[in-house]
Amino acid sequence: MTVAGIVAWTAVAVLVALLLLRKGDPLAPARTMALIWAGAIALCELKLSAYQHQWSLYSWLVLLAGPAAFIIGVSVVSRYSLERPLLSVDEIRTRLVREAATRFDEGKSFWTIIVLFAAYVLAYAIEVVIEGTVPMFSARPDILRVEFGVFGLHLIVNGMMGIVLLSMEYLFLVKPSAGRRWVVIAVVIISTLTYALMLQRYTFFVVGVIVLSMAYYSTRWVRARNLLPFAAVFVLLLFLINQVRAARYVQEYVYYVSKMKFSKDLWFLAEPYMYITMNLENFTRAVDKLDHHMYGYFLMDPLLALVGLKHWLAEYFSIERLPFLISGYNTFTFHWWYYYDFGVIGVALLPFLTGMVTAHLYSRLRTRPEPLDLVMYSACVLLMIISYFMNPLNRLDFVSNIVLIWFVHRFVIQRRVASAGGTRGGDPSPAVEG
C-alpha cells in the first residue's frame, strides 16, 4: 500500500473511532468532509482496477485543494462564530419545535404542501400524456429515463424534492391534527411512488440524506450510535435495488469490463468500488490534460438551464461537458466544475466560500436554531457526503428546490415574530464540538 493509502486509512480509522465514541457532533462539517474524502482516497489507493492510474503531483495537489479549501473555510468561520457555547442536540430539537410553533402558520404550511403537490400531480399527468408512458413501463427505460420530460413542466415535476422535504419538516416539527398528518404522509408516499416510475435513483438518495440529517437534529429517531448501521443498511438497500434491476451476468460483465484485480468470486464488489473511485480517477486524469477553461459556464449552469440557453451554448461553442473520461464512467468530484471554469483559482476560492457558508449555517443551527437553518444545513450535509462524485450546486433540479424551500419559509408560512431562540429560554449550555 502507498504512503497516501496508509495516511488515508489511518484518518478513516481515527474519525470512525471518534464517531463511535460519540466525541462531538457526527455531522459537524469539517469532520464529515474529512471522513468522506479520506474514505474515497483510501479506496482509490487500493488500485483494484486496471483503469486506475498513478496520479501526478499536480493532480494530487489540485484534488486535495478542493476539500482542503472547504475545510479551511469552515475553520475560518468556526473560529469566530462558534466561540459562544453550543446547544446540545437535545436542546436543538426542543428549540426547533418551539420555533416552529412560534414562527409557522400551521394552516399555511399544510395548504402550501397541498398546492405544491397538486401542481406536481398536474404537471406529471401532462408529461405522461405527452410522452405516452413513464420510463419504468416503456420499451427502453434506459433511454426514456434520460429523455423523459417537457421543458418547463419538468421543473415542476422535479419539485417532488421540495414537496417531500417540506412535508417531512412539517411532520417533524409541527403538531398537526391526525387528519392533516395522514394527508401529508399520503402526499409523501404518492410523490415518492410516482417519481420512482421515472427511475431516478439519484433524487431519492439526495432526499434520503437530507431527511436523515433533518431527523437527526429534530427528532430522537436518529442517534449518533445508529448513524453507521443506518448508512450500512441504506447502502445495502441501494445495492439490492441494483441487483433487482440487473441480472447477475450483467454484474459479472461489469467485473470483467472494469478489469478488476481481485478474485471473480467477489464480482459483486466491482460496481460499487468503481462508482466510488472512478470519480477521483476521472478528475486527476482530466486535470493533467485540460488545456482551456470555460470562465463561468458551468458555475452558471442552473441559470442557463432555466432560461433554455444551456444546450444551445454548449452546441454553439462546442463545449465538451465530460472530457477525458475513463471507460464510460462519467462523474467527477465536486470541484471539477470549478477547475473547468477557473482553474486552480476556482478550486481554491469556490470550495472555500462554500465551506464558509456551510459553517455559518452550522453555527446558526448549533446556537440559535430555526427551521430554515435545519433544512439548509441538512442540504449542506448532502453536499459534503456526495462531494466525491457530484456537485448538486450546478444542477437546476437541486438549486430550484432549495430556492423554493427558502421562498416558502420567508414569504409564505412564516409569521413575523421575534425569535424563540437566543436570549429566550436562557443562554445556550456548553456542548462538546467534533
> Is residue 345 included in any domain, yes or no?
yes
Can you tell me the distance from the alpha carbon of 306 to that of 319, in angstroms, rounded to the nearest whole number? 18
Q: Which of 42-56, 316-330, 352-366, 378-392 has the lowest mean pLDDT?
A: 316-330
pLDDT, residue 9, reads: 94
pLDDT band at 226 (very low <50, low <70, confident <90, very high): low
Instruction: Summarize pLDDT for 370-426 with one digit per residue, the tens.
Output: 999 999 999 999 999 999 999 999 999 999 999 999 999 999 988 765 544 444 444
What percent of the chain is modeled with pLDDT above 70? 87
The number of domains in the chain is 1
Confidence (pLDDT) at 274? 87
Contacts of 101 (CB under 8 A, 6+ apart): 174, 175, 420
Residue 387 in contact with residue 279, Cβ under 8 Å? Answer: no
Entry field: residues in the chain:
434
Backbone angles phi, psi at 414, to 5 degrees: -90, 135
Q: List the Cα angle 52/56/60 in 5-degree steps.
A: 90
Reference 113, options 197, 216, 186; nearest CA is: 186
**SS3 annotation, 346-383:** HHHHHHHHHHHHHHHHHHHHHHCCCHHHHHHHHHHHHH
pLDDT digits (tens, 9 = 90+) for 109-129: 999 999 999 999 999 999 999
Q: Return the top range by mean pLDDT from 46-50, 182-186, 191-195, 274-278.
A: 182-186
For 36-50, 137-151, 401-415, which range has the lowest pLDDT when averaged over its residues? 137-151
Q: State mean pLDDT over 96-115.
A: 92
Domain annotation covers residue 360? yes
Tell whether 315 is covered by a domain: yes
- H/E/C letters for each residue in the chain? CCHHHHHHHHHHHHHHHHHHCCCCCCCCHHHHHHHHHHHHHHHHCCCCECCCCCCCHHHHHHHHHHHHHHHHHHHHHHHHHCCCCCCCHHHHHHHHHHHHHHHECHHHHHHHHHHHHHHHHHHHHHHHHHHCCCHHHCCCHHHHHHHCCCCCHHHHHCCHHHHHHHHHHHHHHCCCCHHHHHHHHHHHHHHHHHHHCCCCHHHHHHHHHHHHHHHHHHCCCCCHHHHHHHHHHHHHHHHHHHHHHCCHHHHHHHHHHCCECCCHHHHHHHHHHHHHHHHHHHHHHHHHHCCCCCCCCCCCHHHHHHHCCHHHHHHHCCCCCCCCCECCECCCCCCHHHHHHHCHHHHHHHHHHHHHHHHHHHHHHHHCCCHHHHHHHHHHHHHHHCCCCCCHHHCHHHHHHHHHHHHHHHHCCECCCCCCCCCCCCCCCCCCCC
66 part of a folded domain: yes
pTM, two decimals, is 0.88
Residue 419 lies in a domain: no
The pLDDT of residue 202: 86
The radius of gyration of the chain from alpha carbons, rounded to an integer in Å, stands at 22
Q: Is 217 among the domain residues?
A: yes
Is residue 426 included in any domain, yes or no?
Answer: no
Inside any domain, residue 372:
yes
Range of the domain at 291: 3-411
pLDDT digits (tens, 9 = 90+) for 249-263: 455 556 767 777 877
